[in-house]
Amino acid sequence: MNHVYNAIRLFAFLYAIQLVNPLTAQQNGSFENWSPSGSPPPFNWMFPTGWTTNNATTEFTADGVRRNNYNYSGEFSAQLKTLNIFGTLRRSQLALGNCQLDYPNYRIKAYTGGEPLPMVPQQVTFYYQLTIGHPSEHAVADILIKHPSGSANPDTVFYASVSLPAVDIFTEVNVPIPDAGINTATDSIVILFSTNDTNAVGLNILYVDAVSIDFVSSTDHGPSVQPSIRLYPNPLRTEEVLNVNFSDDKIHSVKLMDSTGRIIESGFDQNSTGSNTRLGALRLPPGIYCLIADNKYSRPFVVIE
């Protein structure tokens, strides 16, 4: 029960420093929610809510980023496809936040439009699958922590670029983020997926799903090794389903705790399959919460509007 008491003290501290105010970030890391572009037919493509695509630069040929029911979790994933635009291969891109498009280069400016950070992030986790059109090709994931102006390299607090080779099943990727120099009051995070590196030579198809920002390290530094719990999406929008992945065989019981220490034991739908549990119909107001598994393991998560 020490983990539960520690969580209560943690949330009391967060509440005292006013970190439980409603947040404006829209992660939608499970890609379940999609919004219309507003373009007239036949260019009325959609984009994942809270994300930016470069579909606006390719709509006269095709929408390079679209939803697909081939997924790792939930109902949809994001599918990115390299396109042939008037005889030139152009990579498709998907970025967390309201990034700017770089016309006419068919790409997103990765240094713009980062999402606010409710807490210092420890790592970014996602699942991907890639079909390549050329044996030398790969996709790319770029992770940036940047200052608000964010228009040049000196404004970048942290940067990691991960090469994504071809894989025929959804594969987990973890990108650790050191906390040195991150200011949650001003800095923001950008997660950018590209079907190719800067030189597109193949018609790649990239599937991305279950993107999460882990605000608490999954490594326990105590004397014993504890099961790892991963929550996604995190932050969680009020209408989304919370997915829980447990490294042990199965979660036997789940409780939720709010920032006041009040336990929420019912009022939500729970569907468990092996080490995975899905919590629906949470209807929680924006704030910081804690999931408690089997009365002894805890993990915080954020609910946003």
Nearest to 113 by CA among 93, 96, 99, 94: 99
| Three-state secondary structure call for residue 182 | coil
At 100, list the tokens: 């700017």
Return phi, psi of residue 138, to 5°: -155, 160
The total number of residues shown for the chain amounts to: 305
Give the alpha-carbon dihedral of 246, 296, 177, 26, to 10 degrees. 70
Let me know the angle formed at the C-alpha of 248 by 242 and 251, rounded to the nearest 5 degrees. 50
Q: How many degrees, rounded to 5, is the angle at CA 19 between CA 17 and CA 20?
A: 120
- pLDDT, one tens digit per residue, over 267-304 is 566 777 666 778 877 778 888 888 887 776 778 888 88
Domain boundaries, the chain: 2-21+235-304, 34-214
Q: Distance between CA atoms of 278 and 274, rounded to whole angstroms?
A: 11
Helix (H, G, I), strand (E, B) or coil at 268: coil
pLDDT for the residue 26: 37
Task: Determine the 3-state secondary structure of 190 from DSSP.
Answer: strand
CB 186 within 8 A of CB 148: yes
pLDDT, position 76? 94
* Cα dihedral 232→235→240→241 (10° resolution): 30
CATH class given for the domain over 2-21+235-304: mainly beta
182 is written with which tokens?
A: 């991150």
Q: Which residue carries 């967390």 as its tokens? A: 96
Dihedral sign computed on CA atoms, order 83, 233, 125, 142: positive
According to CATH, what is the number of the domain 34-214?
2.60.120.890
Q: Is 58 helix (H, G, I), strand (E, B) or coil?
A: helix
Place of tokens 């800067």: 198
Cα 50 to Cα 36: distance, rounded to the nearest angstrom: 12
> What is the CA 241 to chain-centroid distance, rounded?
14
> Going by DSSP bridges, is the β-strand pair 297-304/236-237 parallel, antiparallel, or unpaired?
parallel
Please state whether beta strands 242-246 and 276-280 pair in parallel, antiparallel, or not at all (unpaired): antiparallel
CA distance 286 to 228: 25
Each of the 305 residues of the chain gets a pLDDT tens digit; together they read 444 444 444 444 444 333 333 332 335 788 999 999 988 888 899 999 989 999 999 998 899 999 999 999 888 999 999 999 989 999 999 999 888 888 888 889 877 878 888 788 888 999 999 999 999 999 999 999 887 765 555 578 889 999 999 999 999 999 999 877 888 888 889 999 999 998 889 999 999 999 988 875 444 333 334 556 788 888 888 778 888 887 665 667 788 888 777 787 655 667 776 667 788 777 788 888 888 877 767 788 888 87
Instruction: Name the nearest CA neighbour of 169 among 226, 228, 209.
Output: 209
DSSP character for 78? E
Q: Fill in the amino acid letter for 128.
A: Y
